Structure 1
């Protein structure tokens, strides 16, 4: 099995169903490290009779992804990719350039193998040139990229369910998990699985598929 290179693709839409023309940008040298930041946001509440505030879950924050890639135009890595200006422009056109068709830069999907798949928008694009020809033309550059997760308004509405004062969760099923197990994980109570099954139109809730997304709605407590 050959080396798989990270690919960076542009999309016109935040649902990531309408790719821009052309191939994704294939990095020349895969990153040594990737930083994927996740956070949870809490509201701090302090009961009248308590001396310290407690954290009440508000929502899961937006993820951030950042990494460095090296563009090497010496001809050693890729014999036909030796034009630094072309490499930078190709990457910029995908992640940075303002697109008049959608009146904003593109939405971006970063894919590396089957384990790393990140959908978001560009935050920063910093280039450091490190090797030059005698005439000053750059031969090698380090490009530092950072992205912010993007969730489409349609999907966000499913998760937030703003008409309800309770929190709605969007849960991705791991192969082998049952609905009672998931209810216990979300609410510390496995008995709400009937309401979740009805809400998602599940007839056979014992045989969930890995990767399946389920909405866990506000629960009506008996």
Structure 2
């Protein structure tokens, strides 16, 4: 089996613009992150963190583009026209177009980066290119490209992959060491302030006066 080459597939109104990578990247980076808000609860030394939402996965990588063809001595040129260097900016412009709105799509195009087991579909959010080699006429023939993508996964896809347990029915939970009512409220309802509803349902006057092993009833919303 030959060496698998990476490629970029840029969405078009009709078809796909495929850019084959001459040199595979030496590495790539995938980044996942999440958004939290801070909630201050009286009696606690520090704030509680409430999960708000996850961020789209980011893919960062560097590519090396080269369209330089060394000149051949006249004595070595046989029949036909020998290959010549071409302007590498013709390739970088195709990639740069993925960062702006496509008039036919009315949005930036989707871009898929394929290489081995990686099949990343997203949009290009950052594109830097540096030209590193030129011909005598000033035509760029080599470039280093830095790309950042954000994945395109719908909220429904993420829910199917990691569904939340429904808060619309009554449940019971056992309090564990280091877990308070606000922690349970944040996990079950997505809002630590809902601890008051849990406390009221269970006749708890002081939210700090709970013990590990205690079973509490979680009312349905």
Normalising by the residue count of structure 1, what TM-score does the alignment of the two structures yield? 0.61
Matches within 5 A, 1:2-81: 2-11=2-11, 20-75=14-69
Partner Cα distance (1:134, 1:81) in 2: 11
Matches within 5 A, 1:1-222: 1-11=1-11, 20-75=14-69, 82-93=86-97, 95-114=98-117, 116-151=118-153, 155-157=154-156, 159=158, 169-171=159-161, 215-219=163-167, 220-222=169-171
Partner Cα distance (1:21, 1:57) in 2: 40
Partner Cα distance (1:103, 1:81) in 2: 35
Q: 1:158 Cα deviation (Å)? A: 6.3
Q: Is the 8 A contact 2:127 2:147 kept in 1?
A: yes
Aligned alpha-carbon RMSD (Å):
2.7
Change (3 A) 1:81 1:149: farther
Q: 1:127 Cα deviation (Å)? A: 1.3
Partner Cα distance (1:131, 1:23) in 2: 25
Change (3 A) 1:32 1:126: same
Change (3 A) 1:3 1:59: same
Q: Is the 8 A contact 2:9 2:16 kept in 1?
A: no
- Structure 2 residues without counterparts, runs of 5 or longer: 71-82, 172-221
Q: 1:129 Cα deviation (Å)? A: 0.6
Normalising by the residue count of structure 2, what TM-score does the alignment of the two structures yield? 0.61
**Which has the greater radius of gyration?**
2
- Structure 1 residues without counterparts, runs of 5 or longer: 13-18, 160-168, 172-213
1:118-169 CA deviation, whole Å, 9 max, x = no partner?
A: 2211112211111111111112110111112223xxx32565xxxxxxxxx4
